[in-house]
Amino acid sequence: MARDLSDSTPIGSKTELMSWIAAGEKPPSAFRLGTEHEKFPFYRDDLSPVPYEGRPAAGGRPAAGGIRHLLEGMQGKLGWEPIVDAGHVIGLAGPDGGGAISLEPGGQFELSGAPVETLHQTAAELAGHLDDLKAIAEVHGIGFVSLGHSPLWTRAQTPMMPKSRYRIMADYMPKVGTRGLDMMFRTCTVQVNLDFATEADMVRKLRVALALQPLATALFASSPFSEGQLNGFQSMRSEIWRDTDKARSGMLAFAFDEAMSYEAYVDWALDVPLYFVKRGDTYHDVAGASFRDLMAGRLPQLPGVTATISDWANHLGTLFPEARLKRFLEMRGADAGPPELLNALPAFWVGLLYDQASLDAAWDLVKGWSEADRQALRDAVPVQGLAATVAGRSLREIAREVLVLSRAGLARRARHDGKGADETGFLDPLDAMVAADKVLAQDLVERYRGAWKGRIEPLFEDFRL
């Protein structure tokens, strides 16, 4: 989330909370897609992580700019509005809601893309962002690598960005899971945000998205390394989420209940503890408190303070299920990767969820899976990837079938670029990996054991963005 919302309109009933989500409904003709992706910055001369203020000269090593300098350089190039937290520039907001640049806790550099109509536009946005960023980063000797988990640095070596909400989260995370700090400081993702037309459309899309999120995890797995060594996982990022904070993450079993609705999601969200309440520029630490108590003005930390629209929007942005509902749906299961995979992720979901025939066929494929089936698949995928099974079928076999559905959906969308190409080509990297029975994580392991001779350092050049 690039910027916490500021809207002081009071909100005092569950109906209002439901209505806020329902206001995201759009006719299919107005559907858009927004792609978000993160990457790890590093100094090219010694592969160390990049602090906010940069590094001083020491031991013959030159001084170098940091994250702040990257943000300032991008602000100068783009003219976007700086987002400031306690005097620190911690992001940039594009004009008229047209995208944003933000920082994850460990300095992961994120582009939250603008809502666009086609995959061609989101691919062009990515290319332009990387070109701009690399031109600025080169001056400071900074490179970027986009993988699901930090491949080299320990948590202690990883810097912390000066964002107030991250200090609150970092204090709270160890109380509710063993891996929350790793999630914050050492993971990167790519996700796509998609629209829904009605409550029923939301429910169908959310169910398909949740059921098939483990497939996306397997296809986009790119995190087999931790602290310079093999970690035994194809997606360490996905494994980390298994013990981050169970109250606010997971597969949302209730979404498959007959009574699933906006109200059901709101009821779940109300039971998830708050992290913070923002008033003005101040983040008040209320971690563990109840949103219901905030609505009633009963928060012990803020007596008499009642909920606003911004509190609700910000709270929804601190929930982390595999697929998340706000005023749109967020697909959250994939590791970050190189540009061709950053473009393939939105293509995968747009083809499935924005074409009614493909959406219905995808639901037919997964609707017979039980809660236990879905959970077992989600738990198996971080290690097994496409070799995992569900309801007696190989995930690799299911991948082939789902990719056919997605490709057909994109073909029926018939959105062409200036050269007449439709959007189906963005799926080619996924088809190639499934055909070769080798996703990126497996390719990385093969390189580590072969050409890289058991060293992690070549990764930073071979996969530098």
Tell me what pLDDT residue 329 has: 98
Instruction: Indicate whether 8 belongs to any domain.
Output: no
Tell me what pLDDT residue 12 has: 85
> If pLDDT is split at 50, 70 and 90, which confidence band does 154 have?
very high
Instruction: Indicate whether 231 belongs to any domain.
Output: yes
Helix/strand/coil percentages in the chain, nearest 5: 45, 20, 35
Instruction: Indicate whether 392 belongs to any domain.
Output: yes
Residue that is written with structure tokens 């203020």 in the block: 53
How much is the average pLDDT of 153-160?
A: 98
Tell me what pLDDT residue 3 has: 52
Residue pLDDT, tens place only, 68-102: 999 999 999 999 999 999 999 999 999 987 899 99
Residue 332 has pLDDT above 70, yes or no: yes
| Residue 198 Cα to chain centre, angstroms | 24
Instruction: Indicate whether 4 belongs to any domain.
Output: no
Q: What whole-number distance in Å separates Cα of residue 229 and Cα of residue 439?
A: 19
How many CB atoms sit inside 10 A of residue 32's CB? 17
Instruction: Indicate whether 298 belongs to any domain.
Output: yes
Tell me what pLDDT residue 112 has: 97
Whole-model pTM over 0.95: yes
Closest CA to 179 of 386, 382, 442: 382
Tell me what pLDDT residue 172 has: 98
* CATH number for the domain harbouring residue 236: 3.30.590.20
Q: What whole-number distance in Å separates Cα of residue 254 and Cα of residue 233?
A: 28
Residue 243 has pLDDT above 70, yes or no: yes
How many CB atoms sit inside 10 A of residue 261's CB? 16
| 263 Cβ neighbours under 8 A, 6+ residues apart | 14, 18
Residue that is written with structure tokens 């990767």 in the block: 337
Average pLDDT, the chain: 97
Number of continuous H segments (helices) and E segments (strands) in the chain: 17, 17
| 13 Cβ neighbours under 8 A, 6+ residues apart | none
Residue 5 has pLDDT above 70, yes or no: no
Instruction: Indicate whether 456 belongs to any domain.
Output: yes
Residue 2 has pLDDT above 60, yes or no: no
Query: What's the domain range around 270?
Result: 14-462
How many CB atoms sit inside 10 A of residue 282's CB? 10
Residue pLDDT, tens place only, 345-355: 999 999 999 99
> If pLDDT is split at 50, 70 and 90, which confidence band does 4 have?
low
Residue 303 has pLDDT above 70, yes or no: yes
Residue 1 has pLDDT above 60, yes or no: no
Residue 242 has pLDDT above 50, yes or no: yes
Instruction: Indicate whether 381 belongs to any domain.
Output: yes
How much is the average pLDDT of 415-429?
A: 98
Instruction: Indicate whether 361 belongs to any domain.
Output: yes
Cα 367 to Cα 290, 332, 363, 373, distances in angstroms: 34, 20, 6, 11
| Least trusted range by pLDDT, from 48-62, 68-82, 196-210 | 48-62
Residue pLDDT, tens place only, 430-447: 999 999 999 999 999 999
Q: For the chain, how many structural domains are there in total?
A: 1
Residue 314 has pLDDT above 50, yes or no: yes
Residue pLDDT, tens place only, 14-28: 999 999 999 999 999
How much is the average pLDDT of 189-204?
A: 98
Tell me what pLDDT residue 60 has: 83
Give percent above pLDDT 70 in the chain: 99
